[in-house]
A and B are shown apart, each in its own frame.
Chain A
């Protein structure tokens, strides 16, 4: 058991019911195990339980039941030991406005137990490496939003922690800053285990060695992008605008079609996808065809499932989720 869990993040039947939530499960018997190296990306829409899982793993929150361990260290019974190895940038954490980046990073290192002069030195080195050397002694409140976020990440990067949790570190960043961030995260993912959450699917596509898909507290899928792709029975995704109405000659026999707000999405086999596109081109319809992306996988694993099983009263939500603009709608 112990040897199995070494080098692994192991989660076993983890359930969380917040005391004020009338029995609603924020996490529902989540069980999985992934290698504790590289970058693990947990995706899910808002409220799916990402933060809850991160906070349990980083020893900030007690689960209602179940267990979890990282590299064989139990998050509940061996928290003190684990706390020497982990570091987190919580969701919605902010830099303290009356401090400078240098003070922000070095004080965090002091909390980790670094000697004062070493903390200062290491903080400065890290900030320089992230391109914040010139801003190191200005007040945080004078920095741009992207740089403030970088300062927060610098705190954990400068530390000796081998396991780093970043809860939605790029939410709210502009696309350019986000790309810069990705480059930085890729680098640090090389020698540490980074546990990252996001609701941007492309972020997972860009960065993840392993991906977990969470929805309403339930784990819907886990594995590498390729492994997740195999979970979907189809390998092509087509999108056709809703108007003009689809021609009656269009027959889908192998794949599945779901109507969204602005477009139809068809997931199907390569063969049928090419048949359909030939037919659509012939009659002059606009459409897109792409290999199955994480967006389609998410759609297949989460939206389709929850659509099938969702309760009454959620029709509007379901309609929105079914629409091709689901992610755009979620993001703001």
Chain B
């Protein structure tokens, strides 16, 4: 309210002079600009203008880690750090789902982009990347912890990074697919929080799957995060997987991702019908 009063009345220049600057000489359209616009709007500007959101992005993966650390008296710290990474990656897709519908429905921003030279692929790539940027503060903190407490072989490092990348892509596929459903329930923030809980806190992301008693263990395998966590724990030397099991985990993650992207691309509409 205050700020409204403060707003200084400024006279527009009567000669708007806008028309005179048409045509604007564009030396070709810059694809990178189009990509970076989504990253700026959906993450960097918010982080810059509301720095308090950074605390939240750091705290959410760390809170579970701390809990596991206390409950297990430190014995599961490594798994929990890996779990924090996986959860950060997975939450990217969940946020994507919320943000896509928020920008589309509440701000009509997607409509503006649809009728602009930016293609849906560039828009989606930018939005997905923005989610990664958003979790950068958390990734930095986790990275420092990993440097102290995790001891990877070079191959283990590469595997772990690949698992994280795969997790990111899978979660983007999940988020994108859900974003194409236009029902009010799916579009709500509560729903994306529910997905996040289902996929990254209940499944054995922060601890080995062997901690889950048997009939329930099958349920855990319904979540893609379980496969990623298994691979990560194997890479970190916390569990031993047979080569077959490793292959199956990779295949499941890849299959889920490809299937979801396929569904989403059939269902998603840049131009509505």
Contacts and interface: CB of A to CB of B under 8 A. Distances in A.
Q: Are A and B bound to each other?
A: yes
Nearest to A92: B108
B40 A103 contact: yes
B55 interface: no
A183 B15 CA distance: 10
Interface in B3-24: 3-4, 7-8, 10-14, 16-20, 22-24
A327 to B, nearest CB: 26
A19 B273 contact: yes
Interface string A13-53: 00000010000000000000000000000000000000000
A131 B8 CA distance: 10
A135 interface: yes
A274 interface: no
A79 to B, nearest CB: 7
B266 interface: no
Nearest to A58: B115
Contacts of A158: 18
Contacts of B103: 96
A225 interface: no
Interface size class on chain B is 35 or more
Interface string B26-41: 1111110110111011
Given A110-B34, A112-B116, A114-B33, A96 B273 contact: no
A119 B116 CA distance: 15
Interface in A169-196: 180, 183-184, 187-188, 190-192
A119 B4 contact: no
B19 A190 contact: yes
Nearest to A189: B19
Contact of B4 (A142, A165, A183): A142
Interface of A: 19, 55, 58-62, 79-80, 83-84, 86-96, 98-100, 103, 107-108, 110-116, 119, 122, 126, 128-135, 138-139, 142-144, 147, 155, 157-160, 162, 165, 180, 183-184, 187-188, 190-192
9 contacts: A84-B117, A90-B111, A93-B109, A100-B45, A112-B116, A113-B117, A126-B18, A144-B7, A162-B22
Given A94-B106, A142-B7, 12 more contacts: A59-B115, A60-B114, A87-B112, A90-B108, A93-B107, A107-B37, A107-B45, A112-B29, A114-B33, A129-B17, A144-B4, A183-B14
